[in-house]
Structure 1
Amino acid sequence: MPQPSHSSPADPTRQVGAPATANTSTARRSNARYQILGLLAVGTMINYLDRTVLGIAAPQLTKELGINAAMMGLLFSVFSWSYVASQIPGGLFLDRFGSKLTYFLSMTFWSLCTLAQGLVHGIAGLFVFRLGLGVSEAPCFPTNSRVVATWFPQSERAMATGTYTVGEYIGLAFFSPFLFMLMGAFGWRSLFYVVGGVGIVFGGIWWLMYREPRDHPSANQAELDYIEAGGGLTQRHRAAASTEAAPAKSGFEWRTIGRLLKHRQLTGICLGQFAGNSTLVFFLTWFPTYLATERHMGWLKIGFFAIMPFIAASVGVMFGGLFSDWLLRRGKSANVARKLPIIAGLLLASTIILANYVESNVAVIAILSVAFFAQGMAALGWTLVSDIAPEGLLGVTGGIFNFAANLAGIVTPLVVGFIVAATGSFVGALVFIGVVALIGALSYIFIVGDIKRIVLVD
């Protein structure tokens, strides 16, 4: 027998704060949260395609526009200048205006900036639109974290975080061959037109489909009770659920940032995420150029080999999230369940240095795939943000975390670019990536401490 609809305004089970009735308490739980998770996963995939399409276009673009390695490193880096600078304002905007509007505006504007990059004829245009891309993408991951904290109980948050995070890798894994073929047939500008256009379309889909839990037509009371029992639907979310679009003061003061950073949990995971992002940024920016110049591969070969590390990273993300949630369900503490996959991943990611000591292209790709798999395992930082953020300050806490983590987007492309320009080789660049990953593992071991919600005391 089909389940009765719970979307009618007259249905008391749809009223905010209404207790579960006998019928809803025994009803089969709906799974509307997985529909929302699907939206996050697609949005994150588009997000990373937009920010990394320049890396795919780079080998051809640099020849046409006459850009050297050091300048290309600057162009890779400039995205993160505005991205990092916009994290805290983006978090404040999110806390004030909510997830639906923030994500819609963010995706629409970043997609327009991507499309515009295909129209440029010099470095200045790329510089301007990469800055715009960074500003527009800044609220994305704080919004992802807020949606997961709202829609998922704690026992499923690592799985949810891993699922949308896999979008970072899966899009590049499966679309890289198509994008390289597209570039070979129509030139590098076509990449920006296609990827930007897809993002604009999906922005409209997000606006039409996203709802808060108590406003979602497919979420029944049994699912809402399940989410709330597991720590979702916080008091702030319950109060704001039906008025998501109405502005509300977040109670933010600038001194709150300093108060948050005094807690070792936040400073430690920020340093650890910087380390993990350094590996990620290398693959998202310099990896195709590494294969083309250091390993002397052709376009089709690059498209084929580029799949492998991204598939490995996708598996690593899912494995890390599922393993973390499994440990939590088995009674392990949050310290063990959340930190163990990250520490193991960062330690294993440092083995990227071994690629300097093998000749075979197959062996190189195997080493890089293991390192990227490990980085994927370590991509659970946003789950910890959900676990430690003070009540009502998830957007700001996420903004601080993303600010620190994405300093890697500024530092890593520049360091790699200058190393390659100075030495004519990627050997030193891979050593840099490996050492930073090792430092990140030590941060989680010695700095982070207990995983618990931060309480700010006046």
Structure 2
Amino acid sequence: MTDTEVAPATPVRPLSKAPDDRRRAWIVTGLLVAFMMINFADKSILGLAAEPIRADLGLSATQFGTANSAFFLLFSIFGAVGGLLADRVRPRWLLLGMVLLWSVSQAPLALGAGAAMLFASRIMLGAAEGPAFPIAQQTALSWFPNSGRNLPSALVTAGTTFGVVLAAPGLTWVITEHGWRSAFGVVAVAGVLWALVWIFVGREGRYAVATGPDTPADPAAGAGEPTPDTVGYRRILATRSWIGVTAAYFATYWMVALTVAWLPSYLHDGLGYSTTASANLVALLWAVNAMALLGQAGLTGWLLRRGAGSRWARARVGGITLLVSAAGCLALTAAPSGPHTVLLLIAAFGICGVMATIAVTTVAEIAPAARRGGALGIMNGVVTTAGLIAPILVGRLVDTHGAAGYQHAVLISAAVLLLGGTAAITLVDPDRDRQRLAR
């Protein structure tokens, strides 16, 4: 496939500027990685500071789980709306507005707000962060053709893991030494600093639909490729590939939501690790996830260069990974604790994140550029409902069954991962669905 979905609305940049474009592409990608690092540092605070927050604000496990789920109350809706909006408004300004809203939402908690404001702040933060991942991916992919998208997409996705790898030990130290409210102040300041840099550096690349004088479009549309004139969102969302990667990505996000909200408590209360050891294990699992993402990008790129279709190079690689994670969850619930527990945690929580990159690049492959933001945003809106369900479910299980509730939650997660991996392997075939959309 050539990545030439859209006829140019403005002239393509002169070839003499190509080296400058390549340099800017990686600079923008680096900034988007930092953007996602801040995004997930924001999310991780409640999990890292669960015990002092619950003690200071007098929250039960169910109430604390509800506070985590409150983040996702508007997250999914705004994720879909933001993706559709990104097909009409320049993503550059959407990203800037989002990160400033993140910082504003953290301020009340940093300054001493109580339990009611905790819920309100998380709802506001969720609304502002809902479109972050699909719009960041859309912006990064606008700088690269399809054959070159695996690495930048993986790096942007890995930004979520890098954020927690740094946040787990760093914010845990801030929480321990200066109190949990200081952690909210740290991430708020980080968001403002990122926004100042993005104002001067951030913009879209040559493979975006032209929305302004400095946003060059893709070359002329290739024969047999879907175009925005013939492909509506409904047709894209009805493809088996979109349905399959959305189901698989839902399973991944289920695990992400549990990792952010409850993994530190599970390690401490369910498996008996100390607070420091739990924070270090959280950082390790996210670091492994980052390596898995980059490894998947390399493997997928290698398979595509050797002529493998995306069905194998992307969907089945991701699907098999989810099945391995499901096996890891099952083993965690059955095996006694011991040195092997870390390996099982890595299998269960450390590698399933690769499906996020695979889902994004698969949707970008089948959707024309003018529909890409909406297709990604709607997928993200559906997928992130896992974040609304999983934290509160675990809270109820823990309140009802005590530490054994964590084991029930991990068993449920195994079933979700099994379904997601099966969907990826059996439903997803981008080449088939791209050809059908082109008719």
Q: TM-score, with normalisation over the residues of structure 1? A: 0.84
Indicate yes or no: 2:306 matched with 1:325: no
Q: Once the 2 structures are TM-superposed, how far is the Cα of residue 385 of structure 1 from its aligned partner?
A: 2.0
Aligned residues of 1:385 and 1:398 also touching (Cα < 8 A): yes
Pairs within 5 Å for 1:68-107: 68-107=60-99
Pairs within 5 Å for 1:51-62: 51-62=43-54
Superposed CA offset, 1:355-399 (max 9, x none): 223444543222112223321332321111211223411111111
The structure whose RCO (Cα within 8 Å, separation 6+) is larger is 2
For the residue of structure 2 that corresponds to 1:212, the secondary structure is coil
Which protein is bigger by CA-based radius of gyration? Answer: 1
**Which of residues 389, 393, 396 in structure 1 aligns to 2:367?**
389
In structure 1, runs of 5+ residues without a counterpart are 1-14, 214-231, 245-250
Pairs within 5 Å for 1:298-313: 298-313=274-289
Indicate yes or no: 2:419 matched with 1:439: yes
For the residue of structure 2 that corresponds to 1:133, the secondary structure is helix
Question: Which amino acid in 1 is paired with 2:416?
Answer: V
**Which of residues 371, 374, 381 in structure 2 aligns to 1:403?**
381
Quote the Cα distance in structure 1 between the aligned partners of 2:154 and 2:438.
32
Matched pairs, number: 414
**Which of residues 214, 223, 233 in structure 2 aligns to 1:242?**
214
* 1:124 aligned residue: 116
**Which of residues 203, 210, 233 in structure 1 aligns to 2:207?**
233
* 1:5 aligned residue: none
**Which of residues 267, 276, 281 in structure 1 aligns to 2:252?**
276
Quote the Cα distance in structure 2 between the aligned partners of 1:331 and 1:391.
24
Aligned residues of 2:271 and 2:337 also touching (Cα < 8 A): no
Pairs within 5 Å for 1:22-171: 30-171=22-163
Aligned residues of 1:275 and 1:437 also touching (Cα < 8 A): yes
Question: Which amino acid in 2 is paired with 1:355?
Answer: L
Aligned residues of 2:103 and 2:189 also touching (Cα < 8 A): yes
For the residue of structure 1 that corresponds to 2:87, the secondary structure is helix
Aligned residues of 1:315 and 1:373 also touching (Cα < 8 A): no
Aligned residues of 1:269 and 1:448 also touching (Cα < 8 A): yes
In structure 2, runs of 5+ residues without a counterpart are 1-9, 217-226
Superposed CA offset, 1:23-62 (max 9, x none): 779x898432111110111101111111221111112111
Pairs within 5 Å for 1:339-418: 339-350=315-326, 351-360=328-337, 362-379=339-356, 380-418=358-396
Q: Once the 2 structures are TM-superposed, how far is the Cα of residue 305 of structure 1 from its aligned partner?
A: 2.4
Structure 1 range deviating more: 433-442 or 361-370: 361-370
The alpha-carbon distance between structure 1 residues 38 and 24, as it changes in their structure 2 partners (threshold 3 A), is closer
Question: Which amino acid in 1 is paired with 2:296?
Answer: G
Quote the Cα distance in structure 2 between the aligned partners of 1:180 and 1:289.
13
Pairs within 5 Å for 1:219-230: none
Aligned residues of 2:76 and 2:384 also touching (Cα < 8 A): yes
Structure 1 range deviating more: 355-364 or 71-80: 355-364
Quote the Cα distance in structure 1 between the aligned partners of 2:368 and 2:58.
49
Structure 1 range deviating more: 153-162 or 360-369: 360-369
Q: RMSD across aligned C-alpha pairs, in angstroms? A: 2.6
Aligned residues of 1:91 and 1:396 also touching (Cα < 8 A): yes
**Which of residues 402, 420, 434 in structure 2 aligns to 1:453?**
434
Q: TM-score, with normalisation over the residues of structure 2? A: 0.87
Superposed CA offset, 1:101-145 (max 9, x none): 010001110122123333354332111111101111122122122
* 1:16 aligned residue: 11
Question: Which amino acid in 2 is paired with 1:317?
Answer: L
